[in-house]
Copies of this chain bind each other. A is one copy, B any other.
Amino acid sequence: MSAEFSFTLNANDGAARTGVITTPRGEIKTPAFMPVGTAGTVKAMLPEYVRATGADIVLGNTYHLMLRPTAERVASLGGLHKFMNWPHPILTDSGGFQVMSLSKLRKLTEEGVSFQSHIDGSRHMLTPERSIEIQCLLGSDIQMQLDECPAIPIAHEDSRISMLLSARWAQRSKDAFEKLSNPGQALFGIIQGANYEGLRRDSLERLLEIEFSGYAVGGLAVGEGREEMFRVLEFTTPYMPKTKPRYLMGVGKPADLVGAVARGVDMFDCVAPTRSGRHGQAWTKAGAINIKNAQFSDDAEPLDPNSECPASRDYSKAYLHHLFRAGEYLGPMLLTWHNLQYYQDLMVEMREAVAAGQFGEFKRRFQAATGEAIV
Question: Which of B64, B68, B314, B329 sits near A333, CB closer than 8 Å?
Answer: B329
Find the B residue at minimum CB distance from A336: B329
> Are A41 and B328 CB-contacts (below 8 A) given A73-B298, A300-B78?
yes
Q: How many copies of this chain does one complex carry?
A: 2
Q: Mark A35-53, 1 if CB is under 8 A from B, else 0.
A: 0000111011110100000
> Are A69 and B329 CB-contacts (below 8 A) given A298-B76, A300-B78?
no
Looking at A40, A46, A297, the one whose CB has the most chain B CB atoms below 10 A away is A46
User: A106 on the interface (CB 8 Å rule)?
Assistant: no
User: A325 on the interface (CB 8 Å rule)?
Assistant: yes
User: A84 on the interface (CB 8 Å rule)?
Assistant: yes
B46 engages A330 (CB within 8 Å): yes
User: A236 on the interface (CB 8 Å rule)?
Assistant: no
Distance from A169 Cβ to chain B, minimum over Cβ atoms (Å): 28
Count A-side interface residues using an 8 Å CB cutoff: 37
Distance from A73 Cβ to chain B, minimum over Cβ atoms (Å): 6
Question: Which of B45, B310, B326 sits near A68, CB closer than 8 Å?
Answer: B326
Task: List which A310-332 residues lie within 8 A (CB) of chain B.
Answer: 310, 314-316, 318-319, 321-323, 325-326, 328-330, 332
Which B residues are CB-close (under 8 A) to A78? 300
> Are A319 and B83 CB-contacts (below 8 A) given A298-B73, A329-B332?
yes
Question: Which of B85, B315, B323 sits near A315, CB closer than 8 Å?
Answer: B85
B318 engages A73 (CB within 8 Å): yes
Which B residues are CB-close (under 8 A) to A40? 319, 322-323, 326
User: A210 on the interface (CB 8 Å rule)?
Assistant: no
A77 engages B44 (CB within 8 Å): no
B319 engages A45 (CB within 8 Å): no
Which B residues are CB-close (under 8 A) to A84? 319
Q: Mark A288-300, 1 if CB is under 8 A from B, else 0.
A: 0000000001101
B316 engages A69 (CB within 8 Å): no
User: Measured between alpha carbons, how far is A64 from B325 in the docked complex, in Å?
Assistant: 12
A333 engages B46 (CB within 8 Å): yes
Find the B residue at minimum CB distance from A337: B46
Question: Which of B41, B68, B69, B318 sits near A69, CB closer than 8 Å?
Answer: B318
Distance from A64 Cβ to chain B, minimum over Cβ atoms (Å): 8
B329 engages A329 (CB within 8 Å): yes
A68 engages B328 (CB within 8 Å): no
Q: Mark A49-74, 1 if CB is under 8 A from B, else 0.
A: 00000000000000010001100010
B328 engages A48 (CB within 8 Å): no
Which B residues are CB-close (under 8 A) to A48? 310
A316 engages B44 (CB within 8 Å): no
Which B residues are CB-close (under 8 A) to A333? 44, 46, 329, 333
Q: List 24 interface pairs A-B (beta carbons < 8 Å), by A numbering.
A: A39-B322, A39-B326, A39-B328, A40-B323, A40-B326, A41-B323, A41-B329, A41-B330, A46-B310, A64-B326, A68-B325, A69-B297, A69-B322, A73-B297, A73-B318, A76-B298, A77-B318, A77-B319, A85-B314, A85-B315, A85-B319, A329-B332, A329-B333, A333-B333
Further 16 A-B residue pairs, CB within 8 A, beyond A46-B333, A69-B297, A69-B322: A39-B322, A40-B323, A40-B326, A41-B323, A41-B328, A41-B329, A41-B330, A45-B330, A46-B310, A46-B330, A48-B310, A69-B318, A77-B300, A77-B319, A83-B322, A85-B314
Q: What 9 A-B pairs come out closest when comparing CB atoms? A: A44-B329, A69-B322, A41-B330, A39-B326, A85-B314, A41-B328, A77-B300, A77-B318, A83-B319
